Amino acid sequence: MDLLRLAAANRLNLTQEKKKLSVSGEIRDTYTVYAIPLEYLYYNDQNGRINTAYKKYKTEFGELKPEPGDSEYNKVFEKFIFDSNQQALKDTAQSINERSQQEPGVVLPDGRVIDGNRRFTALRILQKEDNIAKTFNAVILPLDAKADEKKIKELELDLQLGREERVSYDPIDRIFDVYNTIIVEELMTAEEYKKASGAGNTKGINRDIRLAELILKFINIVSPSEGSEEKQINKFYLARDLKLDGPIEEIEGTITKMNSEHKESATDAVLVHLAVLKSDDEQKDATRIMRDIKTNILKDPERLDHYVDAVDSKVDVVMDAFEDYPIKSANDIKVVFSRDEKLQKAAETLKRSADRLVYRGKNDSKRMKALAKLENIRESLMEMRPEDFDELTIDERLEVKGVIQEIKDVLFKLNKDLIE
């Protein structure tokens, strides 16, 4: 099936709409919007919002062949969209039901939906409810899913993040999409991803790559497997199911900057500690605990040395347990701990060791609160780059210079008072 041929043969109805798209950097106003029967369409399995969900599905049930209409493929992907944000989908369905489809989507000639998954899903649901055939208003873009993969990805980012919907990805889906697009598939550079997604700079994109690498280390601990790196990447869904975004984001910066000889062992210890926390249903605040470990242990060389020495053997016990029983789901992590009393004792010892050092760190931090504040200010300033201010107006740049001068004046006075 070729939707462009159907359109040329007047077998698709024209709407009165036109849609502006940016393809390969060229903006056109002349893309015609057609009313396309739902039976001709199918979901995009490369969509960044649902990529991790599909990888989880493939791990359990195998790969699906993309097929239009009322296929098993479309049913599975419809559920992905529904589960990703049920309220948003209900709102979209209500809007379409009351006012019809307001924003056209984008499809390829073979029926692949590049933009408009939620609208397409809402129409599918409404069609089932009233049994009246629906059409999806969309541009048919003359591109090929394989040959034009980069162009399609650029368009997806532009539409979903750059200028139209601006609906944020789930944090884990965002991290995976950045890593998969730039590192795994090598479709784009960080700079190209920045331009397509409308990001202000590449700082956040490069951080997402580092977050993904840290997440993969965690996955390699709780679900080690022999073979290619692709096998581990396909398990990225575990990060979403375990809600790792908050805890991992909390510790990434400190671990990245760590120059200690204990960096590798400290990283393993913290990630194992995170796995222990995720095995406990009653422990709801893993992010806060990771913040406490970061602030009171990882940032203090002396306490870090004590921490690595104290938990070293317990970390090995936990990692060995996951070697024997690699997890496949979020719930498995609880099962691994529940079946082994020795493992439970090692986990408790690991937590107590960290708790003691965190307690000592908090006591020290009260005494050294002012110094800690100053160090945080220094780190924030060191992260700034001249290009961060590129989009400011002339007046705003003058304001920045004024703020910098005020900071200099404050530091000069503070330094003078300390010396005296």
The phi, psi pair for 181, rounded to 5°, reads: -70, -45
Residue 167 pLDDT: 54
The residue segments making up the domain with residue 406 are 384-419
Residues 349 and 393 in one domain: no
Question: Are residue 36 and residue 126 in the same domain, yes or no?
Answer: yes
Percent of the chain with pLDDT over 70: 93
- C-alpha torsion angle, residues 36, 42, 48, 50 (rounded to 10): 120
Q: Residue 27 — pLDDT band, cuts 50, 70, 90?
A: low
Q: In this structure, which long-range contacts are made by residues 384-387, counting pairs with CB atoms below 8 Å and at least 24 apart in sequence? A: 385/201, 385/203, 387/201
Rounded mean pLDDT of the chain? 87
Residue reference for tokens 């006075």: 413
Whether residue 344 sits in one domain with residue 413:
no
pLDDT at 368 over 80: no
pLDDT tens for residues 167-210?
567 889 899 999 999 999 899 999 999 888 878 789 999 999 99
**Closest-CA residue to 186 (of 175, 195, 178):** 178
Domain end among 102, 128, 144: 144
- Are residues 116 and 219 part of one domain? no
- Counting the structural domains of the chain, the total is 3
Q: Residue 77: inside a domain, yes or no?
A: yes
> Based on the domain organization, do 342 and 406 belong to the same domain?
no
pLDDT tens, position by position, 289-309:
999 999 999 988 888 988 998
Coil/strand/helix, residue 112: strand
End-to-end, the C-alpha distance of the chain in Å comes to 83
Identify the domain boundary among 144, 160, 178.
144
How would residue 284 be classed by pLDDT, with cut points 50, 70 and 90? confident
Q: Are residues 352 and 288 in the same domain?
A: yes
Angle (CA) 65-70-76 rounded to 5° is 55
238 and 261 fall within a common domain: yes
pLDDT over 70 at 139, yes or no: yes
Residue 160 within a domain: no
In a domain, 111, yes or no: yes
Instruction: Please report the pLDDT score of residue 361 as a whole number.
Output: 80
261 and 307 in a single domain? The answer is: yes
Do 44 and 111 lie in one domain? The reply is yes
pLDDT for 20 beyond 50: yes
Q: Is residue 278 part of a domain?
A: yes
> Using 50, 70 and 90 to split pLDDT, how confident is the model at 164?
very low
Residue 260 has pLDDT above 60, yes or no: yes
Q: What is the mean pLDDT of residues 216-220?
A: 95
Name the pLDDT band for 369 (thresholds 50, 70, 90): low
Residue 165 covered by a domain: no
With bands split at pLDDT 50, 70 and 90, how would you rate the model's confidence at 359? confident
Buried/exposed code over 94-122 (b: 16+ C-beta within 10 A; e: otherwise): eebeeeebebbbbbbbbbbbbbbbbbbbb
pLDDT confidence of residue 23? 76
pLDDT higher at 231 or 328:
328
> Do 359 and 216 belong to one domain?
yes
Residues 48 and 169: beta-carbon distance below 8 Å: yes
295, 365 contact by CB (below 8 A) = yes
Q: pLDDT: is 105 or 417 the higher one?
A: 105
Residue 228: predicted pLDDT: 62
pLDDT at residue 372 tops 70 = no
pLDDT for 272 equals: 95
Asked if residue 166 belongs to a domain, the reply is no
Q: Is the model's pLDDT at 56 over the cut of 70?
A: yes
| DSSP secondary structure letter of residue 19 | E
pLDDT tens digit string along 374-414?
Answer: 877 887 888 788 888 888 899 888 999 999 999 999 898 88
Of the pLDDT bands very low, low, confident and very high (cuts 50, 70, 90), residue 268 is: very high
Q: What's the pLDDT at 165?
A: 45
Question: Which residue is listed with tokens 């869904």?
Answer: 237
Shared-domain flag, residues 239 and 369: yes
* Burial per residue of 280-310, b for 16 or more beta-carbon CB atoms within 10 angstroms, e otherwise: eeeeeebbebbbbbbbbbbbbeebbeebbeb
**Domain's final residue, options 114, 144, 174:** 144
Tell me, yes or no, whether 191 lies in a domain: no
Q: Does residue 97 belong to any structural domain of this protein?
A: yes
Looking at the structure, tell me whether residues 48 and 137 fall in a common domain: yes
